[in-house]
Chain A
Amino acid sequence: MSFGFASPWWLLLAAGALLPWLRSGQPTADYSSATMIPEDRLSAALDRGLRAFASLALLALAAGVARPYALEQWEERLGTGAHIVLLMDRSSSMNENFSGRYLGGTSGESKNAVARRLLADFVQRRSDDLFAMVGFSAAPRYVMPLTQDREAVLAAIDSIGDRGHGITNIAPGLAMALDFFNGKPVTGARIVLLVSDGATRIEDESQDLLRQWFQDNQARLHWIYLRSKNSAALGRAPTGSSENASSEYLLHQYFQSLGVPYTAYEAENPQAVEDAIADVERLANQPLRYFEKIPKQDLSGVFYALALTLLFPLLAAKSLEVRRW
């Protein structure tokens, strides 16, 4: 953690804290002969105490005015919803047109645009869940940490309307998505929500590793499949020996072999998202403590409170002050 002052020049005010030590703030009272007053230890101590209070109050106010702040703080939060990593395909194949319809979208729309509306819809309707986001094409990109900051997640989803670039390389993306769960206690449903057109394959070696990680992290996989005009439905096995299995079909087969709960939704219509949301709702969750980075924190309130507590005894002393014999 690091501290700083937003306007450090005001710290010069702290010099004012010296003044109470030079001059007492009490009004003088006339007395015939000061030498006649006996020396009083208690009075002396009281006087020093009052000066110290005034001095510290001035210091605290000066520090407050300079607006101290703390950076890099982590705050413990309590979440109750599911933990969902949105794994978004950002490859160039996503720029192609979508074959179905979604929320009045026409088939002339790119898969990116459809995915964006679909995810925004999903995130807005699941208000208690924590969301993270990973984008992937040739390489995975860390887009959002696991957070309850809905506005930020939506800002990330909003930006996927732009064109995607590069090839589809799904394995590192899945690995990064699973990494969000790694080493953390399992307290609720963990979901990797993949949004992809599936135009990819995973090498055998990665297949085994990913299977292992899915099982270790007890994560489930939901795949919202965005179909292009020329690609096949997921469940359709190749017919006859003359047809090659499509990459989507193979990916679907692989996901079914993960050993964790897996559901595919074909985003042909709004019903797909309804189904996905309903499935998430069925999962039980326990509250989870987690840490979230919090913004730069203004600490001036602490100093004002301190000044206030010092002012009360001063005020009490002032009210008891004898102003005339």
Chain B
Amino acid sequence: MKPRFGWPFAGLAAAAVLTLLAWADPRIPIEQPVFRYLFVLDITQSMNTRDYHLENLPADRLSFAKAAVRRAIADLPCGSEAGLGLFTTQNVELLFEPLEVCRHAGVIEDVLEHIDWRMAWAADSFIAQGLNSALRILKKRDSGLRLVFLSDGQQTPDDPVRPEIQAKPGEFQGLIVGVGDVKPVPVPKLDRENRPQGFWETADTLAPVTTTAYLDASTDTTHRHKNDGTLYLTWLHEPELKEFANMSGLGYLRLDSPSALSRALRNPELGELRRVPAGIGWLLALAAWALILWPHLAPNRSLRRVSG
């Protein structure tokens, strides 16, 4: 007489126990790369330009960049951290210090959603100074923090003197992310309620007419001859951004799709190895799956009829 409960029963029982364990979501600490990023978004008005044309994704640069950052943060492994900052004029201001991405995903996403060009404390856009400001902020924090600087590189007004990037080689790590397309397009002019008011004209961005006792701007024709009613055009200034990336030791990535950014930010070189609790439930479930499948793999040894 064979025992009442044989191997098939034991297999199935083991599968049930494994499934129960998997359901309990066990975790063991495993060394894996985690990432700590400070995302700095350019919120100057050229970022309102609509030159993305991908289905189900926003057309304007800022919203597209936000969607990409959102996706990238969601894809980061738990234990990673993300902070958010804004860039306009020549400064970067943080909204919050880096937060763990899984436990705080709700607030991070909500704050990211609310980032808006109207938060800018001044107009104009000096990219190099902004980058320097971001690097200064990074320097004040610990060395594990990486910068992700998202900008179209549009300098307004044009500055003939390009300031140096203040970085020693190897001091910083991260990415400059070029947002937008390289084809020149006009910049939408929006009012405070985000209603479109046409486009920015070149004349709007020229140096303001200043009259002092010693300088009558009306006699200064250097600005006026450019004032021909043309639209002010913007494009992704890739060579400049690449140069900044080179000088600061950061990588460069053109933002074509949210998934590309997410992949680039999971590059193990940008992370640091840390022991983080990793779920092993899926391994147990996989074993349970095999145990349930196993009896069905055995060939039918002989004819067996149950149904007609």
Contact = CB atoms under 8 A, between A and B. Distances in A.
A124 to B, nearest CB: 15
Contacts of B104: 149, 151-152, 295
Interface residues of A, number: 77
B165 interface: no
A194 interface: no
Contacts of A144: 96, 107, 111
Interface string A126-159: 0000000001011111111101010110011011
A252 interface: no
9 contacts: A67-B282, A155-B83, A159-B83, A300-B282, A304-B22, A307-B285, A308-B20, A311-B19, A321-B9
Contacts of B288: 61, 307
Interface residues of B, number: 70
Interface in A271-325: 292-296, 298, 300-301, 304-305, 307-308, 311-312, 314-315, 318-319, 321, 323-324
B253 interface: no
Interface of A: 7, 10, 13, 16, 19-20, 22-28, 30, 34-35, 37, 39-40, 43-44, 47, 54, 57-58, 61-62, 64-65, 67, 71, 90, 135, 137-145, 147, 149, 151-152, 155-156, 158-159, 162-167, 292-296, 298, 300-301, 304-305, 307-308, 311-312, 314-315, 318-319, 321, 323-324
B13 A165 contact: no
Interface stretch (B112-120, B148-156, B223-231, B242-250): B112-120
A295 B279 CA distance: 17
Interface string B281-308: 1100110110011011111111111111
Interface in B70-114: 74, 83, 86, 89, 91, 93-99, 102-111, 114
Nearest to B15: A311
Nearest to B286: A65
Contacts of A40: 306
A165 B123 CA distance: 12
Contact of A145 (B9, B91, B110, B300): B110
Contact of B89 (A43, A165, A319, A321): A165
Given A13-B286, A293-B110, A298-B279, 20 more contacts: A16-B289, A23-B300, A25-B8, A25-B296, A34-B304, A57-B292, A61-B289, A71-B74, A135-B93, A141-B93, A141-B95, A152-B104, A166-B121, A293-B107, A300-B282, A300-B285, A311-B15, A311-B16, A312-B16, A323-B2
